[in-house]
Amino acid sequence: MDNLPKILIIGSYTFEGTDATSITLKNIFSGWSVEKLAFIYVTNQPNNLDYKKNIFIVSKKIFGNIQINRQKKSFINDLREAKSVVGGIMDATASNDKKTKILNFFHTIIVAHNALIPYKYSDKLDKFIQEFQPDLIYTPLGSLGVMYLAYKISIRYNIPIYPHFMDDWINTMYAKNIFLIIPCLVKKYYLNNIFNRTKKAFAISEKMAFEYSNKYKKPFFPLMNCIDDSAPSGKSGLDDTALRFCYSGGLHLNRWKSLEFLCKGLERLASDKIIELNVFTKESDWQSYKDKFINFSFMHYRGFISQTEMLHDLKKQTILIHLESFDEKVSAYTRLSISTKIPEYLSMKKPILAIGPCNIASIEYLNTNQSAFVVDRQDEELLKNEINKIMNLERREEVATNAYNLFKKNHTKESQQQILRNSF
């Protein structure tokens, strides 16, 4: 452990976060010495954040920050609420009404150009870096502000950058939009500078690593979410009369539409089966979309719980649901990503029902490894057939075993942390 490099992590995430990227970071770096990790945490909302010894919070831009009263009803807040479900992409909204789309149009333009304003580089930040003396920079990037800081610090301290790409934002953010030409050009300029400071990089899936290695002529290594290896819960315990499903994850990125498709399919089975669908998601997501599910009596919202609690609760479930969006703009953004939840599901050795386009990395990954029952188009008959396959004991146990073997191969902390260590 003593020969591990000191890593400066730059981004909008810390180990304390509950979002998918924060969870992934916490898991892959859990084998690292705490003294050899430091964060530069970039945020537009610094309130209620604790300053810690190994975290420096950057929130001020060089021209100052605009303060908005988020509780007050106003046009500005209406504009803010119309933000895209996919950053930097117009019309990828949760609502199709004309007002929201118009507000979203202006919101996307304003936010994109505001992102051109760099965050303030202060003497305190310099002191923080000098005291830590990092050997390298690790960063998920994802925004112009983070790219600016990562490149500036890399040049200033002559240390390399190891970027980790979680989504295909390189090709989607600000793309194909005449009103966002300047932010798009700046994004490409920053990326070019960062790749000039990069010898190796990480990708969230094998598919992304292969595609990016060919396109950017850099070695990309697949570095995915991982968890501790623990004994699976045993047989799933399905019978011929009851079907108990569980979905754990966000409803954003229009995944709620895929969940609604599932519910409509399950509704048709409810006449001769006992159906139960337990949903674990953030309160904010549920409040945004619960009206879509109010008529499904078998749907039960179970709240939002920590990853540790979720791993314990998954062992009590019967059929695990993974969802991706069929929306074209969303799937373009997620097409190379492996969901954070997939390793958790695979470790349970339970049947997984995956719903989403076949070209999405998560769906392709499960399908290629025969680790899930896959519904790759919005076809009610296909959904019914896959559920019927799950009811076959022999087939169910075969797929569940494949899932667990895939977890053991690619998603234990030991395997992913070894990739990380060998890359530096």
Concatenated DSSP letters for 235-301? -----SSEEEEEEES--TTTHHHHHHHHHHHHHTTTTTSEEEEEEE--HHHHHHHGGGSTT-TTEEE
- Provide the CB-side half-sphere exposure for 302 (13 A, CA): 19
Helix (H, G, I), strand (E, B) or coil at 159: coil
- Return all residues near 388 (Cβ < 8 A) that are at least 6 apart: none
Q: Which residues contact 417 (CB under 8 A, 6 or more apart)?
A: 28, 30, 31, 226
Rg value, the chain, Cα: 22
Collect all residues with Cβ–Cβ distance below 8 Å to 192 and sequence separation of at least 6: none
**What residues in the chain have per-residue pLDDT under 70?**
1-2, 46-52, 63-77, 80, 94, 230-242, 270-273
Q: Cα-flanking dihedrals φ and ψ of residue 236, to 5°?
A: -75, -20
| Tokens 């310099």, located at residue | 126
**pLDDT at residue 170 in the model:** 94
- Is-contact 373 399, C-beta < 8 A? yes
Q: Compute CA 74 distance to the chain's CA centroid, rounded to the nearest angstrom.
A: 31
pTM: 0.89
Whole-angstrom distance, CA of residue 7 vs CA of residue 27:
15
Q: What is the DSSP letter of 227?
A: B
Q: Which residue has 């097409």 as its token pair?
A: 335
Give the list of residues 6+ apart from residue 6 with CB closer than 8 angstroms, or none: 36, 37, 38, 132, 133, 134, 135, 136
DSSP β-bridge partners for residue 309: none
Among the listed residues 413, 282, 390, the one whose alpha carbon sits nearest the alpha carbon of residue 343:
413
Task: Decide if 351 contacts 386 (C-beta within 8 A).
Answer: no
